[in-house]
């Protein structure tokens, strides 16, 4: 029978898998009230503290490694430390640690997922997809973020449709739709094509048709962003969507104005370019050192 603290830890872990770090932190704090000495909950709390900016990733990694030394039989602590090492930017070292953990237990699906996630940014993604498929064979690959990464790697390597069907077999209908949309490259291409078509129609005088095309592109981009955020919440993804759509509509308005004011625009742009070139040259002269310091390198 699972304790209340264990249930809260499971909830926190599921929230962390979806990028909901603030809510996961709250669940970890509640779980630690029930069991203050649980090392797995404590390590997840440290990761959440680092993700929300309350703690540096270096300090979180050091604390998790101390917990791992105190509980050497808990492999999950070593895996979490490797994940924090990767978040610090040391992906190569983290990948070496993950491979060492996998070598100790080749039948652990979580270790395969960790190795796959850390090796997916290399030029050759064959190893990443191989470990994702092995995790799937061993009963793993249940996290939507891992499923999305596996779908993307499979598409890049030209895997058959049966591989995607296996990855999506246990997903709910909404998750399956979100994963297919987020992993599709065609959706991104369609967004770009609709935006460019809208700009072209606007410049050609078909303002309403251009606005409709731009609105369709914005709606499709919004749906794809929603699917990505449903799989794993990422504030940067939301900011990128808002910035891109705002820039698209501003560009549409600028192009319409330029179409009606073309002679004046050409004159203003020419004057602006001349002023910018003059300012850059003046700034370069100001930055050029006239009297180098005494301890300057000989090559200077």
Cα separation of the two ends of the chain: 73
Mean pLDDT of 193-205: 88
- Fold for domain 4-179? 1.25.40
What confidence category does residue 255 fall into, taking pLDDT thresholds of 50, 70 and 90?
confident
**Is pLDDT at 176 greater than 80 in this prediction?**
yes
With contact defined as beta carbons under 8 Å apart, do 21 and 12 qualify?
no
Nearest to 98 by CA among 131, 133, 72, 126: 131
- The pLDDT, as a whole number, for residue 259 is 66
Least confident window among 14-18, 120-124, 152-156, 207-211: 120-124
- The pLDDT, as a whole number, for residue 15 is 92
Mean pLDDT of 63-91: 94
Structure confidence by residue, pLDDT tens digits, 119-145:
876 656 788 999 999 999 998 888 899
Structure confidence by residue, pLDDT tens digits, 217-233:
999 999 999 999 999 88
Q: Which tokens belong to 173?
A: 């209908």
Q: Report how far residue 235's alpha carbon sits from residue 238's, in angstroms, rounded to the nearest whole number.
A: 5
Q: What is the pTM of this model?
A: 0.77
What confidence category does residue 55 fall into, taking pLDDT thresholds of 50, 70 and 90?
very high
The structural domains of the chain, with segments of one domain joined by +, span 4-179, 185-287
What confidence category does residue 290 fall into, taking pLDDT thresholds of 50, 70 and 90?
very low
Q: What is the 3-state secondary structure (H, E, C) of 58-80?
A: HHHHHHHHHHHHHCCCCHHHHHH
Q: What percent of the chain has pLDDT over 90?
A: 56
Chain-wide mean pLDDT for the chain?
Answer: 85
**Is pLDDT at 274 greater than 80 in this prediction?**
no
Q: How many CB atoms lie within 10 A of CB 99?
A: 17
DSSP summary character for residue 172: -
Q: How many CB atoms lie within 10 A of CB 88?
A: 15
């Amino acid at each position: 029978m699972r304790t209340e603290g264990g249930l809260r830890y499971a909830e926190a872990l599921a929230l962390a898998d979806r990028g909901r770090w603030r809510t996961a932190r709250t669940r970890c704090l509640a779980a630690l009230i029930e069991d203050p000495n649980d090392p797995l909950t404590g390590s997840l709390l440290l990761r959440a503290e680092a993700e929300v900016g309350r703690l540096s990733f270096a300090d979180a990694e050091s604390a998790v490694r101390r917990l791992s030394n105190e509980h050497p039989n808990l492999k999950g602590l070593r895996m979490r430390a490797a994940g924090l090492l990767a978040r610090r930017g040391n992906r190569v070292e983290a990948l070496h640690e993950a491979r060492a953990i996998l070598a100790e237990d080749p039948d652990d699906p979580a270790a395969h997922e960790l190795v796959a996630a850390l090796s997916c940014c290399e030029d050759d993604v064959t190893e990443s997809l191989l470990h994702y498929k092995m995790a799937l064979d061993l009963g793993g690959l249940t996290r939507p973020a891992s499923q999305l990464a596996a779908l993307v790697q499979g598409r890049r390597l030209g895997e058959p449709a049966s591989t995607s069907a296996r990855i999506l077999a246990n997903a709910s209908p909404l998750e399956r739709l979100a994963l297919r949309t987020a992993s599709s490259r065609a959706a991104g291409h369609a967004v770009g094509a609709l935006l460019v078509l809208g700009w072209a129609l606007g410049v050609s005088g078909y303002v309403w048709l251009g606005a409709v095309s731009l609105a369709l592109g914005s709606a499709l981009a919004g749906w794809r962003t929603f699917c990505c955020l449903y799989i794993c919440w990422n504030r940067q993804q939301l900011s990128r969507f808002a910035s891109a759509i705002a820039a698209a509509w501003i560009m549409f308005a600028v192009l319409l104005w330029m179409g009606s004011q073309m002679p004046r625009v050409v004159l203003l742009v020419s004057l602006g370019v001349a002023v910018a070139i003059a300012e850059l040259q003046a700034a370069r002269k100001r930055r050029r050192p006239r009297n180098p310091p005494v301890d300057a390198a000989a090559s200077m």
